[in-house]
Structure 1
Amino acid sequence: MTARSFIPAAERLPLRIKLGNGVGSIAYGVKDNGFAVLLLLFYSQVLGLEARLVGLVLLVALLLDALIDPLVGYWSDKTHSKWGKRHPWMYGAILPMAAAWVMLWHPPAIRSDWLYGYLLLFAFLMRAAVSCYEIPSLSVVPGLTSDYDERTSVTRWRFIFAWAGGLAMLMLAFGVFLVPSPRYPVGQLNLDGYGYYGWTGGALMALAALIAALTTHKRIARLESVPPVHLPLGQTIRKIGRTLANHAFLVLLATTLLNYVNVGMTFSATTYIMTYYWEMPQAGFLAYSVSLFVGVIGAFLLIGFLQSRIEKRVGAVACMLVSLAFGLTPYLLRFAGWFPENNQPLLIPLLFTLITISNGMAVAGGMLTQSMGADIIEASQERTGERTEGLFFSAYFFTQKCATGVGIFLAGTIISASGFPAKARPGDVPLAVLDQFAFYFVIAVAAISLLAIAAISRFPITRADHERRIANLAASGQTGSGPP
């Protein structure tokens, strides 16, 4: 037995470990929410850049990030230090991550063509710094426990903190920072507010990441007895390819790709939809943020109740179908003329009830899907004899980010294809443009969601498979009895 084949016991974890590990997801939640909801709006409507080109720049930054994620995953698997594999990366990424975030929201007063370059630079640096933190942080999860249901519990806490961080910043944005002023009568176009948003987000990300690293440090940060084996580059690439050519992982990767294309597209389009299609007042944006978090809490409670009663695959399919149905309902009813008009009092409660249910079920499906990722680690270990959490989660995380970038690009494309004017004011956009925008959006969401549901329905690892595998590894002496 080598240190690389060690897996943790199938045990329940102390609540403080789950909370501490979950808190670190706040950093990713802040970043993801900012990129998905506000960044396209900030650089296009506030700074005046072309929406399609902003989406393209963000996509290019993400493709450059492709050079970072696999390396971080592989190198973190091979890191050999007294702080273990993951924690040196987590500590080292904190300050660069916060600094890049602040710079992203404080662009200099330069020509438009230079501003595209500035956005590309700091979008890339931000994504690279997040990779250096989030991939090792995700890779910590399978090392905490090998219990089938407990991994779902850990994942639930990561999700709720990620959403809490992102939505807390969203509520601060719309409730405190992006409010009307004499200089900026439309709150969402308040340039000064975006600067305060950047400083606050950077501080919150740094604090959350530090807490998570310190909480899990004592439990898993250790010098392993056997140093990792470093192979020549060619052999390394072939080995990475063989490891990732895992059927269960490819199914999960396809599902993740499709789901996060939808996430990126939906959240990038949401500010446009809320501002121009539904013509939300300022209070409506706060209500929207609250409704999203209510849905996340509902997902957290629902999965807590169901996790020991269902297969992850079955639950994910059911949740995603319900989410799609409730998410499309407001638009389909509006197309049919059966939904309240924008000035009617019933609009906000009805719309946000449907959004709450749709988002909650989508998050519940995401919790189960990400939990499946931890179960792939032992399936690969059984076949290869090695644990490569960093490699798997780097591919998972890169796919997540890449898909979000594609989604943001699609949102920019839909906005441009519908003929949306730059620096538009609510109420001034022609109805034909808004209807075309909503129609393109609904078609894209429905098609991508159905493909994702079809993909995850083919995930092959069941509870019985996982428990048999853990028993086999235990019989071969490859499980641990707890933290060293």
Structure 2
Amino acid sequence: MQQFDACRQTTGKVGFLEKIGYGLGDGASCFYFQTFSAYLLFFYTDVYGLPAAIVGTMLAVTRIGDAIIDPFMGMVADRTRSRWGHFRPYLIWMSLPLAVMGVATFTTPGFGLAGKIIYAYVTYSILMLLYTAINIPYGALLGVVSSDSLDRTSLASYKMSFAFGGSLVVQAVALYLVEFFGGGNAQRGWQLTMAAFGVIAVILFFGTFSLTRERIQPPVQQRTTFSRDFADLITNVPWLLLCVIGVSTLVYASLRVAATVYYFKYYIGPQTFSFLGQSYELDTKGFMAVFTVLGYAGSILGVMSTRYFVKYLGKKYTYLFSMAAITLVTASYFLYTPKQLTLIFAMQFVGLYLNGPSMAVIWAMYADIADYSEWKHRRRATGLVFSASCMSQKMGWAFGGAVAGWLLAYYGFVAGEVQSVSTQTGIVTLFSLIPAVPALLATLLILFYSLDEKRMQSIQEELTARRAGEEAGQPVAVN
């Protein structure tokens, strides 16, 4: 058991600079996460030379294994005590090792097939463990920076704005950097590109560490065990619901992102794009850059609009509207021909603008759930709530990435070759109808979420009174 002998909550609004600082962390994370999502499958099949089916299985095994570790990392972070707090220290402890393993994962030693598979399993598994060790505490930090609902929504909006910004940079410049650094050698290009991304990420993580504060601590005299924390979690109905929603959302996202490069390389193909009287010759890199810039520009604007959606709809119905919109937009891509480039690009901007608010409010909901758990059980486990939520998302990420690889193999995909009509149709389906299914499921499930603004206000008021009583030395019953 662990004894917490202090409880401190600093009230007041979180300042602009601290919100920027918190957002920097997700910008840093996306130099890894977005690279994994958008290019790892492509890297392993088209650069490292591994069969798509083998890569799909590897992604499933490693990501599920990593996801299982998430709750344990959350509990370790909850129990970490340092002069910097529970969660902030991991931003400086883990950032450099993560950068080193990022380079190692995108290094291509000249082994035979069996050696390549083993190397891929080992390096990617270690990389994901390190990513977990920094990203779980970073996510949990949102729950202890402020107890104010509006502050949390704002922090989540900054978090996702920087996430989309980092993702935009990765997808817009990654292939160009590979070409620049590699000079025609894609293997060397990817290695040096990840080195550059790693340096940037380290700087951003240090920025988050320097600019944020932890204000909310566990209740005075809290005594807790791993088993009790788990029991609290699995009886937390709102968390269980968001867990399933998280799986569905990440299945959608990982399928869509993994399929994008194949969609443009093997279905759209190099062609001339005319816009406002100007003609542009676009290859795969050009299409990825334009598509990504438009999408993430829409996402950033959508995230920046979150507070207006939440003001009129609340978090629950903002999420419902946002996911319903992206479901329809995603499915519509099945109808577009390679020549409808203007429509393809326009719907990317519109769809991700409407989807942006969902990515912000979901993190604010996790912070609400941490408060709900403390209110219900009189024990706070912010790290566990956020880590278990990340676990569910990684499960979706693992499943989506694996399905993408398996379906490419099923559709007869052969890397670097001209694809048959049936394979092209399969790629389009993988980019549109298939990811629309889990997006629709997430849309429907949010209808059952019960922690609306009125209920959370009541919970916050009771928690504030309870914490004030603890600080004043009044006895507080502990379950």
The one-letter code matched in structure 1 to 2:386 is F
The 5 Å alignment of 1:150-189 reads: 150-178=151-179, 183=184
Report what 2:250 is aligned to. Answer: 260
Which deviates more, 313-322 or 286-295? 286-295
Residue deviations 1:138-169 (CA, integer Å, cap 9, x gap): 11112121222221110011111112112212
CA contact (8 A) 1:20 1:212 kept: yes
Report what 1:90 is aligned to. Answer: 91
Q: Distance between the aligned counterparts of 2:302 and 2:114, measured in 1?
A: 43
Residue deviations 1:403-459 (CA, integer Å, cap 9, x gap): 1111110100111111111332xxx21122211332355332222111111111211
Identify the match of residue 407 of structure 2 among 398, 411, 414: 414
Using a 3 Å threshold, how does the CA distance of structure 1 residues 120 and 181 change in structure 2: closer, same or farther? closer
Report what 2:147 is aligned to. Answer: 146
CA contact (8 A) 1:8 1:480 kept: no
SS of the equivalent of 1:310 reads: helix
Identify the match of residue 191 of structure 1 among 187, 191, 198: 187
Q: Distance between the aligned counterparts of 1:250 and 1:119, measured in 2?
A: 33
Q: Distance between the aligned counterparts of 1:275 and 1:480, measured in 2?
A: 61
Identify the match of residue 444 of structure 1 among 429, 434, 443: 434
CA contact (8 A) 1:261 1:407 kept: yes
Residue deviations 1:186-243 (CA, integer Å, cap 9, x gap): xxxx333212221111111111111111111xx3289999686464xxxx22441333
Report what 1:220 is aligned to. Answer: 214
Which sections of structure 2, spanning at least 5 residues, go unmatched? 271-282, 472-479
Report what 2:23 is aligned to. Answer: 22
CA contact (8 A) 1:316 1:365 kept: yes
CA displacement at 1:131 relative to structure 2: 1.1
Identify the match of residue 274 of structure 1 among 261, 264, 286: 264
Which sections of structure 1, spanning at least 5 residues, go unmatched? 185-189
CA contact (8 A) 2:144 2:215 kept: no
Report what 2:416 is aligned to. Answer: 423
CA contact (8 A) 1:37 1:270 kept: yes
The one-letter code matched in structure 1 to 2:464 is A
Q: Distance between the aligned counterparts of 1:327 and 1:63, measured in 2?
A: 26
SS of the equivalent of 1:307 reads: helix
Identify the match of residue 205 of structure 1 among 180, 201, 208: 201
Report what 1:299 is aligned to. Answer: 302
The one-letter code matched in structure 1 to 2:144 is G
CA displacement at 1:58 relative to structure 2: 1.6
Q: How many matched pairs?
A: 456
User: Aligned Cα RMSD in Å?
Assistant: 2.5
Using a 3 Å threshold, how does the CA distance of structure 1 residues 181 and 34 change in structure 2: closer, same or farther? closer
Q: Distance between the aligned counterparts of 1:378 and 1:195, measured in 2?
A: 42
Q: Aligned pair 1:359/2:352, yes or no? A: yes
Q: Distance between the aligned counterparts of 2:182 and 2:115, measured in 1?
A: 28
CA displacement at 1:86 relative to structure 2: 1.2
Q: Aligned pair 1:131/2:132, yes or no? A: yes
Identify the match of residue 240 of structure 1 among 214, 225, 230: 230
CA contact (8 A) 2:157 2:304 kept: no
Residue deviations 1:325-363 (CA, integer Å, cap 9, x gap): 12222322x3xxxx4xx3x4xx33221110111122223
The one-letter code matched in structure 2 to 1:260 is L
Report what 2:59 is aligned to. Answer: 58
TM-score by length of 2: 0.89
CA displacement at 1:61 relative to structure 2: 1.2
Residue deviations 1:272-328 (CA, integer Å, cap 9, x gap): 111111115132221112112211222123213223232101011001111111222
Q: Distance between the aligned counterparts of 2:63 and 2:15, measured in 1?
A: 36
Q: Distance between the aligned counterparts of 2:216 and 2:452, measured in 1?
A: 32
Calculate percent identity across the aligned residue pairs.
Answer: 21
CA contact (8 A) 2:219 2:470 kept: no
Using a 3 Å threshold, how does the CA distance of structure 1 residues 355 and 294 change in structure 2: closer, same or farther? same
Report what 1:286 is aligned to. Answer: 289
CA contact (8 A) 2:74 2:387 kept: yes
CA contact (8 A) 1:22 1:157 kept: yes
The one-letter code matched in structure 1 to 2:115 is W
Q: Distance between the aligned counterparts of 1:244 and 1:437, measured in 2?
A: 38
Q: Distance between the aligned counterparts of 1:222 and 1:150, measured in 2?
A: 14
TM-score by length of 1: 0.88
